[in-house]
Amino acid sequence: MKPPVRIAITGGAGQIAYSLIFRIASGEMLGPDQPVILHLLEVPAALKALKGVLLELEDCGYPLLQNVVMTDDTNLTFIDVDYALLVGAAPRGPDMERSDLLKVNGEIFKVQGKALNEFASRDVKVLVVGNPANTNAYIAISAAPDLNPKQFTAMMRLDHHRAIAQLAAKTGAEITAVKNIIIWGNHSATQYPDISHATVNGQPAKSLVDQDWIVNEFIPTVQQRGTEVIKARGKSSAASAAFAALSLMRDWAMGTEQWVSTAIVSDGSYGIAKDLVYSFPVTIKNGEMSIVQDLEIDEFSRSCLQASQRELEQERDTIADLLH
């Protein structure tokens, strides 16, 4: 057996965590031969509910689950962790945009960034799920100067899956037949779901659908899918978000040659301002993400990329008081 790895999950009693924790404990994130120790963080008021999660974990008897640390102490949560999934934060309700959560949630990511900086494994990989995810990741990165910004990503994988599903349904293709979808930008209504480079069963996606569908149906449907789910369920997406988090972390740990969308610190690729946490197409090898380079960006795409950049710059200005 391999030595265990430590995985922190914040918001352990929340609805995403309830879909996530059990799958991680069963080996779906790191494989069937990788023992895990879970570090679960909650606010004091939710520790009782977290205890219920712990009881259920015990009742599953997962062979890979070696131990569970359950706490309301942020510093303790991150001691020696190899992976951190920062889920705990307030979700939006109906008639809110994700950016409305900035002031509510931003402080959480400052505190957690500092604790990661001080206590986590020097190789920790951090996924920010709590909204607004890109700017929360930006705050956490700035609070963790001893970690490499490349150790942080913000979750766009749910948008990536949503876009694949929409294109597969429209073309009548299998999900696995769709390749090279990209989500650019912010996890918000300005994100740009881009099929310019996508293929379906090896054929260019753009030859299979018309521009009117792309602009008036596909893009708004993916941009607004979170809102649609909230309106239908009365709560924000949870199982699909947990699956997206699991998929991204598995790819980060194991690597993928497929293009996947995830928000990382911009290195200036595609003219995007350096340091913003912006979603790009990436491939992953040996735990390192590389932005897919040299894609042709037409005028329509360029304006969409820039609109999302502008929104991220505004969000960054809004939280300036939380930096450092």
Active site residues: 187
Nearer to ligand NAD, 64 or 182 (CB): 182
Residues in region 130-169 near ligand NAD by CB under 6 A: 130-131, 133, 155, 158
Q: How far is CA 96 from the centre of its chain?
A: 20
Of these, 98, 161, 170, 316, which contacts ligand LMR (CB under 6 A)? Answer: 98
**Is residue 92 a contact point for ligand LMR (CB under 6 A)?**
yes
Query: Which does residue 309 touch among ligand LMR, ligand NAD, none (CB within 5 to 8 A, set by kind)?
Result: none
For every residue of 123-135, DSSP letters joined together read T-EEEE-SSSHHH
- Residue 7 near which of ligand LMR, ligand NAD, none (CB within 5-8 Å, type-dependent): none
Question: What CA–CA distance (Å, rounded) separates 25 from 294?
Answer: 39
* Stretch of 38-46, 90-98, 248-256, 273-281 contacting ligand LMR, by CB under 6 A: 90-98
From ligand LMR, ligand NAD, none, which one binds at residue 120 (CB under 5 to 8 Å depending on kind)? none
Interface with ligand LMR, residue 188, by CB under 6 A: no
Using CA of residue 226, residue 231, residue 233, residue 234, what is the dihedral sign? positive
Give the Cα-Cα-Cα angle 167, 258, 218 (nearest 5 degrees).
20
CA–centroid distance for 108 within its chain: 16
Which option in ligand NAD, ligand LMR, none does residue 144 bind, with CB closer than 5 to 8 A by kind? Answer: none
Across the beta sheet with 178-179, the strand order is 178-179, 199-200, 203-204
158 binds ligand LMR (CB under 6 A): yes
Question: Six-digit token pair at 297?
Answer: 């960006």
The set of residues, in sequence order, having a beta carbon less than 8 Å from that of 211 and lying 6+ positions away, is: none
Q: Which does 170 bind (CB under 5 to 8 A by kind): ligand LMR, ligand NAD, none?
A: none
Q: How many CB atoms lie within 10 A of CB 233?
A: 11
Q: How far is CA 43 from CA 7, 74, 82, 90, in A?
A: 18, 9, 22, 12
Nearest residue to the partner ligand NAD, using Cβ: 14
Question: 137 or 144: whose CB is closer to ligand LMR?
Answer: 137
Total residues at the site for ligand LMR (CB under 6 A)? 9
Binding mask 103-132 for ligand LMR (x = CB under 6 A): ----------------------------x-
Say which residues have a Cβ less than 8 Å from residue 294's Cβ, sequence separation at least 6.
none
Q: Rounded CA gap, 313 and 150, in Å?
A: 19
Q: Contact positions toward ligand LMR, by CB under 6 A?
A: 91-92, 98, 131, 158, 226, 229, 236-237
Q: Contact positions toward ligand NAD, by CB under 6 A?
A: 10-11, 13-17, 41-43, 46, 87-92, 108, 129-131, 133, 155, 158, 187, 236-238, 241
